[in-house]
A and B are shown apart, each in its own frame.
Chain A
């Protein structure tokens, strides 16, 4: 742990900058540690507290603006992706969107303190087309709060720094353990899904060329059905011409609308 302190003392601002930026982009970097160290070094006169704060806030705003812009251009893609592992993706997307809509502004301010939410808040604000000016204000508030807490902690408690560092080290180990367990559970879940999906491979498939030939020669006995669980959230979304939507998570209710005397061709992304 002393080596991190020595490193920060030598390369100071740039290390803090990149650590904070990397964390804001979602990389598993303990930026809080870098900020505490920065605060402690400022207290002992090796760095300037004003510059440490400014660098932390700038790094966060830059990273957050980048992923905000990503969310703005990619639409609901990110939320749909994150909800893909949930039991009911459609509900997950709707609920998350509504909850963020209600609490979005507050979420942006405190998101940095909540693992998992931290990296999602900015791109979600983008997906929901929060105005750039508004986004910047709330993100700035969030960044200031986050930096103030940790840089301040380092500054005030610099005498207890080694104690604090050990605490963080322990927390870090715990986080690694939790991540590892989560990874194992997820892999197990994927393997189970894979095995479960084996029966689905026996379903007959049609090549695009064959289908188009069929459509060209009077496709009135053909029905094209879009079963994507997302792709219906963005205006200007596209689908195959003449297809209808079948929401795959509410199959039972919608089944009766389908004709039994026609060939039904299904597609997803």
Chain B
């Protein structure tokens, strides 16, 4: 199912009284429509170990 995660989270948020929506097509559709993106700030990254 497409948008599975966002739909699940939106459903939960709505149950808690938040005004949540799902963006149709997600990030892929946003990019395709030429929407602006940004590089994820370093602080937000989940750092996994690397050998280098």
Partner pick for B23 among A241, A245, A267, CB 8 A cutoff: A267
Given A200-B11, A240-B27, residue A264 in contact with residue B45 (CB < 8 A): no
Over the window 25-44 of chain B, the binary record of Cβ atoms lying under 8 Å from chain A Cβ atoms (1 yes, 0 no) is 11111100101111110101
- A residues bordering B, Cβ < 8 Å? 76, 90, 93-94, 97-98, 101, 104, 125, 128-131, 134, 194, 197, 199-209, 211-212, 226-229, 231-242, 245-246, 248, 251, 255, 258, 260, 262-269
Let me know if B1 and A258 touch, CB within 8 A. Answer: no
Number of interface residues of B (CB under 8 A): 44
Majority DSSP secondary structure for residues of B touching A = mixed
A247's nearest neighbour on chain B, judged by CB, is B46
Q: Which 7 A-B pairs have the closest CB atoms?
A: A200-B7, A101-B49, A266-B6, A241-B36, A130-B51, A267-B23, A268-B5
- B residues bordering A, Cβ < 8 Å? 1, 3-14, 16-30, 33, 35-40, 42, 44-46, 48-52
Let me know if A268 and B4 touch, CB within 8 A. Answer: yes
Give the one of A203, A204, A265 with max B CB within 10 A: A203
Residues of chain B lying within 8 A (CB to CB) of residue A255: 13, 16
Let me know if A241 and B22 touch, CB within 8 A. Answer: no
**Distance between Cα atoms of A245 and B43 in the complex (Å):** 11
Partner pick for B51 among A93, A101, A209, A212, CB 8 A cutoff: A101
Residues of chain A lying within 8 A (CB to CB) of residue B52: 129-131
Given A94-B46, A203-B11, residue A208 in contact with residue B51 (CB < 8 A): no
A261's nearest neighbour on chain B, judged by CB, is B19
Given A93-B48, A101-B51, residue A208 in contact with residue B22 (CB < 8 A): no
Partner pick for B18 among A94, A232, A260, CB 8 A cutoff: A260
Report the minimal beta-carbon distance from B45 to chain A, rounded to whole angstroms.
Answer: 6
Majority DSSP secondary structure for residues of A touching B = mixed
Report the minimal beta-carbon distance from B33 to chain A, rounded to whole angstroms.
Answer: 5
Let me know if B45 and A201 touch, CB within 8 A. Answer: no
Residues of chain B lying within 8 A (CB to CB) of residue A240: 27, 30, 35-38
Report the minimal beta-carbon distance from B42 to chain A, rounded to whole angstroms.
Answer: 7
Given A93-B48, A128-B50, residue A268 in contact with residue B6 (CB < 8 A): yes
B6's nearest neighbour on chain A, judged by CB, is A266
Residues of chain A lying within 8 A (CB to CB) of residue B14: 203
**Distance between Cα atoms of A268 and B28 in the complex (Å):** 9
B36's nearest neighbour on chain A, judged by CB, is A241
Given A93-B46, A97-B49, A209-B33, 15 other A-B residues pairs in contact with their CB atoms under 8 A: A76-B48, A94-B46, A128-B49, A129-B52, A204-B22, A232-B45, A233-B45, A237-B45, A238-B27, A238-B38, A239-B27, A240-B36, A240-B37, A241-B36, A264-B13
Report the minimal beta-carbon distance from A229 to chain B, rounded to whole angstroms.
Answer: 6
Residues of chain A lying within 8 A (CB to CB) of residue B19: 260, 262-264
